[in-house]
Amino acid sequence: MEWLNYHHLHYFWIVAKEESVTKAGERLRLAPSTISMQIGRLEESLGGKLFRRAGRNLQLTELGHVVFRYADEIFALGLELLDTVKGRAGSGPLRFEVGIVDMLPKLMARRILEPALTLAEGVRLVCHEGKEKQLLAELAIHNLDIVLTDSPVKPGLSVKAYSHLLGECGVTFCAVESMAGPLRQGFPHSLNNVRMLLPTPMSALRGSLDQWFNSLGIRPEIAGEFDDHALLKTFGQAGDGVFAVPSIIEQAVCRQHNVAIIGRSETVRERFYAISVERIIKHPAVVAIRNAARGFGEQWSVNSL
């Protein structure tokens, strides 16, 4: 197996930034001949020239541009590693990698993450949406800082992770006004035999809804099942059925999707979790999210993390 000499790569990176071996030597406190020799060895290992002369300066070749892009990322990541390990603030925004389970409402995810975006040191938010199993696998190898989901980590998974309950709230049933108006009277029994858009059976909310319907003797007509909450609301906006959303974002959903409220249930609960590989949360962005969740108000019942 061939290994890259990172000392040689670092010399190349500095020369590329300075566009001069002499200036790079002054910065590195090395003789220009030493730097030139090390870059020559790097070129031998990579099988091509990295620089060409342009007057008194050096310019990158096509291969040099490719290598420089990689070197830039490698050494930027190295600085970030040192900042993280030594507990120092980075020179740029704090990178915050978040996995969002696709069944989590996007408006809810935005609300949960909002406090992280107001940190004084600045945050570069990177969101990844996907299935829970896939995201937890990425979390386990530290490609993600947290995963946001609507259920705790399931027992039996090979991933060692901790579930932090951020909060919970009731649900609100919505539909286009032409459907919502007649259904308000007699709610919730008015939902019997009504076209309903539901999460797939694997979701935590679906289990709660099914249990609630059964306890009240309500038999909705299932018009559609979705594992993506955004797609579910798109069908609801088109008038294809009634759907449930977390009560804490009901007004935002109504405005965004031009739907109206039918009624609410406090028995059916939506819960929101941050999944981490740490038992005690340390990432500043996650700490900000936790602290803000505690102040969401009466609609949001919060456990301490």
* Mean pLDDT computed over 241-263: 95
Q: Using DSSP, state whether 60 is helix, strand or coil.
A: strand
Q: Using DSSP, state whether 207 is helix, strand or coil.
A: helix
What's the pLDDT score for residue 294?
Answer: 64
pLDDT tens track for 179-189: 999 999 999 99
Tokens for 112, please give them: 């949960």
Can you tell me the distance from the alpha carbon of 305 to that of 302, in angstroms, rounded to the nearest whole number?
A: 9
What's the pLDDT score for residue 257?
Answer: 95
Across 76-85, 104-113, 215-224, the highest mean pLDDT is recorded for 215-224
Topology, domain 93-305: D-Maltodextrin-Binding Protein; domain 2 (3.40.190)
* Strand blocks (E) in the chain: 51-54, 57-60, 94-101, 123-130, 146-149, 162-175, 195-199, 221-226, 243-246, 260-276
Q: 300 near 248, Cβ under 8 Å?
A: yes
What's the pLDDT score for residue 286?
Answer: 85
Tokens for 297, please give them: 């108000």
pLDDT band, very low/low/confident/very high, at 80 (cuts 50, 70, 90): low
Q: Using DSSP, state whether 105 is helix, strand or coil.
A: coil
Kindly give, in sequence order, each residue whose CB lies less than 8 Å from that of residue 52, ignoring residues fewer than 6 positions away: 58, 59, 60, 61
pLDDT band, very low/low/confident/very high, at 60 (cuts 50, 70, 90): very high
Is-same-fold flag (6-86; 93-305)?
no
Can you tell me the distance from the alpha carbon of 199 to that of 206, in angstroms, rounded to the nearest whole number?
A: 6
* Mean pLDDT computed over 85-106: 76
Q: Would you say residue 297 has pLDDT above 50?
A: no
* Mean pLDDT computed over 162-186: 94
Can you tell me the distance from the alpha carbon of 207 to that of 188, in angstroms, rounded to the nearest whole number?
A: 17
What's the pLDDT score for residue 92?
Answer: 66
Q: Would you say residue 1 has pLDDT above 60?
A: no
pLDDT band, very low/low/confident/very high, at 236 (cuts 50, 70, 90): very high
Q: Is the pTM of this model over 0.75?
A: no
Q: Would you say residue 288 has pLDDT above 60?
A: yes
Residue ranges per structural domain of the chain? 6-86, 93-305
Q: For residue 133, what is the enclosing H or E element?
A: helix 132-140
Topology, domain 6-86: Arc Repressor Mutant, subunit A (1.10.10)
What's the pLDDT score for residue 182?
Answer: 96
pLDDT tens track for 117-142: 888 878 889 999 998 888 988 888 88
